[in-house]
Structure formats: structure tokens, C-alpha cells
């Protein structure tokens, strides 16, 4: 009987198994087989293939009904990925292991020149991986823009538009790369974190308040980015009907009054938001009133999104989570009074690094695919060699 040579079905089953283990944690072969609808011999073959390439490890056996049941783990060093969050004022770059743990990171001010930004990003990726002594198998990059087929459509906070950023990055490094809107990545990271905590959440909205304002949307476990990547662009909502006939700001009418930049600029006469927060914490009434007015503007966006999408959770990140003490009560009051089914308002688990973790997550998905395909390819070569050896034996 010839050796069994794994193929594309093995790749799909392997990736499904590894993704399940990352979310569920270590499981014995029998539990894996039951959850995936595979036979135990099939799961044993998958484990053998992935174990030989260091993607999974087998833990210490526990006994179930008298039989040893060693749990299967995803190795922490099965692969590495890089995540980058390009913001309007700063860039964060991080190296993640296969458990989405941040191994190395660095942050720097966003250059105003696009070519210089890409140069610095390339240098950061090389520096981080050199320090850690590893080679990433995938990269995720978040940008403050609608992204359509790897093209940065319009990023007013970066001063660029119609930039084929994915093509430019592929020319700079060999790693499989994904480019996505930064708030979408934050939403994906928080959804993944909910899964790992075994929370029964299927739909959520992540509202990011920073240089701009935008929402990332996960519906029924899937990122919803719209027909051409522009879903969640709440910056362009009209705060009042009076603005319907006016010429809107380049960044959108709502962004002018609801972004973190607007907190100090529009509502506090140009005061630094950090100083304004300190004054509010000291009980200064003018500062508290600025937060109430800002919260009402943010609540306008939150109400529209909640009324249309009915998410189970509304996450508010960036400056919103830093000022949760003053912002969240205003949001909750607006939603309670006006939304048909108001969701809980929460700060993100990953805080201000949510988009960075989301970039590491999508980069990790690319890395997972590469690692599994390498393991399966090695098993196929070994299988073919066994076939050849058996064919020449007397």
C-alpha cells in the first residue's frame, strides 16, 4: 500500500484546526476530531504533519476514562508576524508571536512625506525582526483610509490619496502583506479577544476617536467593510439638517466636532485635550461642559450606528477610552433614551493598541497559512520519497 500524500484538503483542515486551538486553547485529539467533524486518524495525521514543522506541540497526557489524552497546543514560536498602525500623528510597529503576544515594538512620529514613511516602516520591520532573531511570515498594516484592493483611497489626515500602498510594500519586502483600514483592524482585534475569552459575541462596533473618527464593524463574526471598503465612515454624518446644503469639510462634518482633535479645538477654544482632561478630573465646570458637548457629538454617531446595525457591544477607543469617566455616561444616556436596543459601552481590551494588535492578527493569518503550507509541502515531499523508496525495493 502506497504512502498517503497530503494535499490541499490537508492545508484547509490544518488551518481550521490551528485557528480553533488558538481560540479554544489546548485540546486532545478526540475533542478536535469531534468539533471539526473529522476522524481521529485524520486528526492524528494533521498533528504529525504540523508537529514535525514546529507548528503544534503535544502536551502532558491527562487521563480520560482510563486512556491518556495529551492536549495539542499551538507553539508560541510557530510563526511570527508584524503589525503596523499608521496614524495621523504617530506610527506603531510591533512583532507578534503566534499567540498574538507582543514581542517587540517601537513608535515614532508620522513623517509628512509618504516615501519617507515607507522607508521608516521598512527599517522598523527589519530592526524588530533582527532584534528578535526571527523572520516574519506575514505583515498587517493599518491605515487611516478607505482601502480598496490594496489602494489607499483617501487619507486626509496623512495628506495622500490614491496610493497603491500594498504594491509599494510588496516591492520592499518578501513577506505576505495585508493592508486594511486601521479601525477595521481594531474591531477585528477586539472580536478575536472576545472569542478567546469565550464571550458569546457575534456582532460589535468599534468607534475610534483620534485625529479623526471612524467605526469598524463586525457582523455575525465577519468584518463588514461595505461595497468598496467605506462602511463605518461616520465622519461624514451630518450633525444637523442645517448642514445639508453647506460645503462639508474635507474630513467630514461630524469629524469637525466629534473627533478627539475637536475636543480641545472645537469645544474648548484650542486647549490641549490632555490638559482639558486634567481640569475635568479636578472638577473644573468649563472642562466638564466641554466633555458633555463633545460626548453629545460622539453620541450622534454612536446612535446612528447602533440604530442601523444593532450590535451586541459598542467599543469606544482612542481618546474615548482615556476619557471614559466623562464620555461614557453621556453616550450611555443618549443610547438609553433614543436607541431601540442600546448595547453596553465598553473600553477596548487592547486600549490604544487595538489597531496594532489587529494588524498583527491579520499578519498572523498570513503567517499561519505560510507555516501550514510549508509543513504540508514538507510532508508531501517525504510521502513522495517513501513512494519512490517502496517502488525500488526488491
Residues in the chain, overall count: 394
- CB-side exposure of 168: number of CA atoms within 13 Å? 17
The angle formed by the CA atoms of residues 378, 384 and 389, to the nearest 5 degrees, is: 125
What does DSSP assign to residue 144?
S
Residue carrying C-alpha cell 492536549: 71
Regions in the chain scoring below 50 on pLDDT: 1-3, 5, 386-394
- How wide is the angle at C-alpha 205 spanned by C-alphas 201 and 207, nearest 5°? 145
| Cβ proximity of 130 and 103 under 8 Å | no
Pairing mode, strands 138-143 and 56-58: unpaired
Integer angstrom CA distances of residue 217 from 214, 226, 234, 257: 10, 10, 12, 22
Q: Could you tell me the end-to-end alpha-carbon distance of the chain, in angstroms, rounded to an integer? A: 15
CA distance 30 to 41: 10
Rounded to the nearest 5 percent, the helix, strand and coil shares of the chain are: 50, 20, 30
CA distance 283 to 272: 17
The strand pairing partners of 209, in sequence order, are: 213, 318
Q: How many CB atoms lie within 10 A of CB 145?
A: 28
Tell me, what's the pLDDT at 154?
87
Give how far the C-alpha of residue 309 lies from the chain's centroid of Cα atoms, to the nearest Å. Answer: 20
Q: What is the CATH number of domain 8-75?
A: 1.10.10.10
Fold match, 80-186+353-367 / 201-351: yes
Q: Exposed, middle or buried, 135 (CB in 10 Å: 0-12/13-18/19+)?
A: exposed
What pLDDT sits at residue 143?
95
The dotted CATH code for 80-186+353-367 is 3.30.420.40
Instruction: Report which DSSP code applies to 340.
Output: S
CB 52 within 8 A of CB 371: no
Q: What is the pLDDT of residue 64?
A: 57
Q: Would you list the DSSP string of 271-333?
A: --HHHHHHHHHTT-HHHHHHHHHHHHHHHHHHHHHHHHH--SEEEEEEHHHHTHHHHHHHHHH
CB atoms near residue 68 (< 10 Å): 10
Domain ranges within the chain, ordered by starting residue: 8-75, 80-186+353-367, 201-351
Distance from C-alpha of 26 to C-alpha of 12, rounded to nearest angstrom:
19
Pairing status of strand 204-209 against strand 177-181: unpaired
pLDDT in tens, 137-170: 999 999 999 999 999 998 888 888 999 999 999 9
Rounded Cα–Cα distance for residues 144 and 323 (Å): 22
CATH architecture assigned to 201-351: 2-Layer Sandwich (3.30)
Cell of 122: 521598512
* Cβ-proximal residues to 27 (8 Å cutoff; 6+ apart), any chain: 20, 21, 35, 71, 72
Q: What's the pLDDT at 1?
A: 41
**157 burial level (CB within 10 Å; 0-12, 13-18, 19+):** buried
- Sequence-distant (6+) residues with CB within 8 A of 21 are 27, 32, 56, 72, 73, 74
Q: Are 32 and 20 in contact (CB under 8 A)?
A: yes
Q: Positive or negative, the Cα torsion across 263, 264, 268, 274?
A: positive
How does pLDDT run across 42-62, given as a tens digit for each residue?
Answer: 999 999 999 999 999 998 876
Is the distance from CB of 196 to CB of 170 less than 8 angstroms? no
Contact 229, 153 (CB under 8 A): yes
Amino acid at each position: 500500500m502506497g504512502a498517503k500524500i497530503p494535499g490541499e484538503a490537508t492545508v484547509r483542515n490544518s488551518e481550521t484546526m490551528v485557528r480553533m486551538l488558538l481560540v479554544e486553547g489546548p485540546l486532545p485529539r478526540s475533542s478536535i476530531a469531534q468539533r471539526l467533524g473529522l476522524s481521529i486518524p485524520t486528526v492524528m495525521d494533521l498533528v504529525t504533519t504540523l508537529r514535525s514543522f514546529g507548528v503544534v506541540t503535544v502536551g502532558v497526557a491527562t487521563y480520560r476514562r482510563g486512556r491518556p489524552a495529551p492536549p495539542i497546543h499551538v507553539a508560541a514560536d510557530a510563526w511570527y508576524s508584524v503589525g503596523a498602525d499608521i496614524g495621523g500623528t504617530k506610527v506603531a510597529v510591533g512583532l507578534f508571536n503566534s499567540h498574538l503576544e507582543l514581542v517587540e515594538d517601537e513608535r515614532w512620529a508620522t513623517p509628512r512625506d509618504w516615501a519617507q514613511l515607507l522607508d521608516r516602516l521598512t527599517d522598523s520591520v527589519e530592526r524588530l525582526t533582527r532584534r528578535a532573531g526571527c523572520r516574519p511570515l506575514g505583515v498587517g498594516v493599518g491605515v487611516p483610509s478607505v482601502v480598496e484592493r490594496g489602494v489607499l483611497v483617501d487619507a486626509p489626515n496623512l495628506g495622500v490619496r490614491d496610493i497603491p500602498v500594498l504594491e509599494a510594500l510588496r516591492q520592499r519586502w518578501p513577506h505576505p502583506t495585508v493592508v486594511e483600514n486601521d479601525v477595521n483592524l481594531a474591531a477585528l482585534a477586539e472580536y478575536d479577544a472576545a472569542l478567546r475569552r469565550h464571550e458569546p459575541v457575534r456582532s460589535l462596533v468599534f468607534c475610534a476617536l483620534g485625529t479623526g473618527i471612524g467605526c469598524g464593524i463586525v457582523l455575525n463574526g465577519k468584518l463588514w467593510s461595505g461595497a468598496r471598503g467605506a462602511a463605518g465612515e461616520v465622519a461624514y454624518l451630518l450633525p444637523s439638517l442645517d448642514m445639508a446644503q453647506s460645503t462639508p469639510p474635507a474630513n467630514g462634518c461630524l469629524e469637525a466636532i466629534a473627533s478627539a482633535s475637536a475636543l480641545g479645538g472645537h469645544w474648548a477654544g484650542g486647549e490641549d485635550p490632555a490638559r482639558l482632561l486634567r481640569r475635568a478630573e479636578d472638577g473644573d465646570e468649563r472642562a466638564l461642559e466641554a466633555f458633555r458637548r463633545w460626548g453629545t457629538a460622539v453620541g450622534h454617531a454612536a446612535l446612528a450606528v447602533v440604530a442601523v446595525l444593532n450590535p451586541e457591544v459598542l467599543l469606544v477607543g482612542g481618546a474615548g477610552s482615556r476619557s471614559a469617566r466623562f464620555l461614557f455616561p453621556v453616550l450611555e444616556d443618549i443610547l438609553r433614551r433614543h436607541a431601540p436596543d442600546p448595547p453596553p459601552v465598553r473600553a477596548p481590551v487592547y486600549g490604544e493598541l487595538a489597531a496594532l494588535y489587529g494588524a498583527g492578527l491579520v499578519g498572523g493569518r498570513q503567517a499561519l497559512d505560510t507555516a501550514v503550507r510549508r509543513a504540508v509541502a514538507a510532508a508531501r515531499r517525504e510521502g513522495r520519497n517513501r513512494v519512490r523508496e517502496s517502488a525500488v525495493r526488491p
